[in-house]
Amino acid sequence: MLYIIIGSAIVTGLSYLGFPQIYNLLCFDRNAILKGQVWRLFSYVFTMNSSSLFFTLIMLYCTYSLGRALEMTWGTLRFNLYYFSGILLMDIFAMAFGWIPIYGLDSSIYFYAGNMMSSLHLSLLLCYATSYPDARFTLFFIIPIRAWILAMIYLIITAFSVVSMSLARCFPHNLFPLIGLMNYFIFCGGDMVNVLPPAWRMGILRRQQKKSAPKPTGSVPFTRDGGKKVSVPYTHRCTVCGRNDAANPELEFRYCSRCNGYFCYCEDHISNHTHVE
């Protein structure tokens, strides 16, 4: 991710310094690719399609932060597979469907030629929100907002884009925003419940736990009236702190889908534990 951001910063800087031909040489152009300029199949990841330098710098910073966080969480190999497979999917779609008339105008431009990179980088937000749904962002450096909320906003905007372009009879080009989502489903589809609102998320997890909950595997002693100790079986026990649902009924317990095995964690450690490999 560091190399991609450095390359993007160099191309952006040269463009604002009066060398737009660098941008034009790297952006996606189907006709140029068919004439032999095959580097355009991947060089467009270094282009930023924004007229505002401030907005471009913000995008570079956010993309680097998200990309580095995912790279450290997934590992470099998985992150590279995600990024390069996203490039491959967009290349296949763009090369297959080519040009599109814009809302009935006689002139035509290449569909999303400057936004292909944005679609790929925005999909990183979904992946980050899936791994860290309750992480906080500061919108406009003022408004705190959870990662899952930003992910939901992105999904709503994507759906609106697909529907609005369908009404404009831009099929199948209206499906282009879904390419980033396709790659997301391939790599993170099993954990996509994390981008739902917390109440929905907890309801789904509770139903999954009821279906797959093991039989009680232990008991915890309680002292009743008269000082007599009795053992009450528990169903869920935190792997980290040892608390269980019998002694601590106020806690929520969940099972980690990323651990290699059936490991239970309390609400304090479900997002803060070392995954069992």
* DSSP codes joined into one string, the chain: -HHHHHHHHHHHHHHHTT-HHHHHHHS--HHHHHTT-TTHHHHGGG----S-HHHHHHHHHHHHHHHHHHHHHH-HHHHHHHHHHHHHHHHHHHHHH-EEESTT-S-EEETTTTTHHHHHHHHHHHHHHHH-TT-EEEETTTEEEEHHHHHHHHHHHHHHHHHHHHHTT-TTGGGTTHHHHHHHHHHHGGGGGGGS-HHHHHHHHHHHHHHHPPPP-EEEEEE-TTS-EEEEEES-B-TTT--BTTT-TTS-EEE-SSSSS--EEETTTSSSSPPP-
In one letter, which amino acid is 92?
Answer: I
Residue 100 has a pLDDT of 46
On whether both 135 and 187 belong to a single domain, the answer is yes
The verdict on residue 153 lying in a domain is: yes
pLDDT at 225: 46
Share of residues in the chain with pLDDT > 70 (%): 77
What is the band of 208 on the pLDDT scale with cuts at 50, 70, 90? Answer: low
Beta-bridge mates of residue 100: 109
Mean pLDDT for 1-18 is: 86
pLDDT for 81: 92
Q: Give how many domains the chain has, as a whole number.
A: 2
Q: What percent of the chain has pLDDT over 90?
A: 2
Q: Do both 49 and 166 map to the same domain?
A: yes
Greatest mean pLDDT among 65-69, 115-119, 246-250: 65-69
Please check whether residues 107 and 135 belong to one and the same domain. Answer: yes
Same domain, 57 and 175: yes
Which amino acid is residue 214, in one-letter code? P
pTM of the model: 0.64
Domain harbouring 104, CATH code: 1.20.1540.10
11 in a structural domain: yes
For residue 210, tell me if it sits in a domain.
no
Q: Which domain holds residue 79?
A: 2-196
With a cut of 80, say whether residue 184 has pLDDT above it: yes
Indicate the pairing of strand 218-223 with strand 143-146. Answer: unpaired
pLDDT tens per residue across span 137-160 = 776 667 778 888 888 888 888 888
**Span 13-37, pLDDT tens digits:** 888 887 778 877 887 777 888 888 8
Residue 201 half-sphere exposure toward CB, CA atoms < 13 A: 17
